[in-house]
Amino acid sequence: MHMIMLAGLILAGAPSRAAEAPPLPFVDSRAATKTVNKIALRMMFTERRFAELTTALEGLQAIADADCEQELLGLDAFETFYCGDPQEPALFDEWVKASPQSYAPLVARGSWYFALAEQRHGKDWASRTSKEQWKSMKALIPLARADLEASIARHPTFAARRIMINLNRIAGTPEAKPPTQLDLMLKQCPTSLAAHMISIKSLAPRWGGSYEEMAAFAAKAPTQKNPRLKALAGAIDQDRCKLTAGAEAIAHCDRALAGGPYWEFFFEKGKALQKVGKHEEAIQAYDQALAERPQKAQVHSARAYSLLQLGRTTDGYKAAALAAVIDPTQNPAYRR
């Protein structure tokens, strides 16, 4: 009961000390789906309030476990730590020692290791990635895997399974036999939007699939039980939006959104608009993404860029500061 009560406080807003952070331009209840206050969770972490943090995370996960429609509570809570800030390893180690029986710090540290591995690898194509980058990334993969597997053994979470899926993809280590992590996610929550989105994106041509396979998967989704699954049909055009540019990319993003609103589709549209200098329209797209998921740091960061390009300096710096508070690696000091 105490865990649920504390989780409720996180849902309602940050503790009083959150006033030290920049003013938040969102209210959790405004979002299309209920979300958690990542800034409050990160503040507990940096202030070493580990017992309080563990209780909050376990409480949020308990709500998600009891109701698949609340899956984002667990996913977003642990996404707080999907942030490759190289200054944080000692804090994670302290937290694991402070809560030796809990799965929560293991999910968080495993997520952090994987985010750091991705950061070390960089975002360029494999052919343009140096041997040093590959080596640095590969050194972190076993650390992430060990924490995530240990957490799943204690208490399976969507957050840990999602990172494991991405980890196996980037490391080139596909799961040998079923049930896979994705199979287990769909077994637990057959109408999960998060699991279905992971699944359909894994069928994209770049991962050895095809648009025909993606369309067939979307057509079989149980949309009557969860109408938000209609957005799956847009994943094909989202992928095309990423691979094209200019008017063609924007048109693909618009077609993606025709099936239903989804934050990533709005985000991709914003980036496409931003690349052709349509910053006012880009901000509108980012605002729509944030209405769905108000604490996506990368959206706040992209929005900040467009605001600054328009000469709206005060608003731009506020948006950039908020992005960096949610995810310190959004701070320009961390960017290459």
Q: CA-to-CA distance for 108 and 68, rounded, in angstroms?
A: 21
**pLDDT at 6 (0 to 100):** 47
Taking Cα atoms as reference points, which of 185, 187, 124, 325 lies closest to residue 317? 325
**Does residue 44 lie in a domain region?**
yes
Write the single-letter amino acid at 17: R
CA angle (115 as vertex; 110, 121 as ends), nearest 5: 125
What is the pTM (predicted TM-score) of this model?
0.85
Cα separations in angstroms, 250 against 231, 240, 245, 271, 272: 17, 10, 8, 9, 6
**Does residue 298 lie in a domain region?**
no
Is the pLDDT at 336 greater than 50? The verdict is no
Q: Which domain holds residue 31?
A: 1-123+134-172
CA angle (110 as vertex; 107, 116 as ends), nearest 5: 140
* pLDDT band for position 244 (cuts 50, 70, 90): very high
**Does residue 46 lie in a domain region?**
yes
Q: What is the pLDDT of residues 195-207, one digit of tens each?
A: 999 999 989 998 8
**Does residue 181 lie in a domain region?**
no
Q: Are 114 and 166 in contact (CB under 8 A)?
A: yes
Q: What is the pLDDT of residues 253-286, one digit of tens each?
A: 999 999 899 999 999 999 999 999 999 999 999 9
Tell me the two tokens of residue 64. Answer: 């998600």
**pLDDT at 1 (0 to 100):** 47
Q: CA-to-CA distance for 20 and 27, rounded, in angstroms?
A: 17
**pLDDT at 58 (0 to 100):** 94
Percent of the chain with pLDDT over 90: 68
Cα separations in angstroms, 231 against 93, 211, 326: 39, 15, 27
**pLDDT at 123 (0 to 100):** 59
**Does residue 87 lie in a domain region?**
yes
**pLDDT at 127 (0 to 100):** 57
**Does residue 291 lie in a domain region?**
no
Write the single-letter amino acid at 171: A
Counted domains in the chain: 1
Q: What is the pLDDT of residues 76-121, one digit of tens each?
A: 999 999 988 877 789 999 999 999 999 999 999 999 999 998 887 6
- Rounded to an integer, the average pLDDT of 28-37 is 62
**Does residue 254 lie in a domain region?**
no
**pLDDT at 312 (0 to 100):** 96
**Does residue 332 lie in a domain region?**
no
CB-based contacts of 199: which residues, under 8 Å, 6+ apart? Answer: 182, 186, 217
Q: Are 141 and 174 in contact (CB under 8 A)?
A: no
Average pLDDT, whole number, for the chain?
86
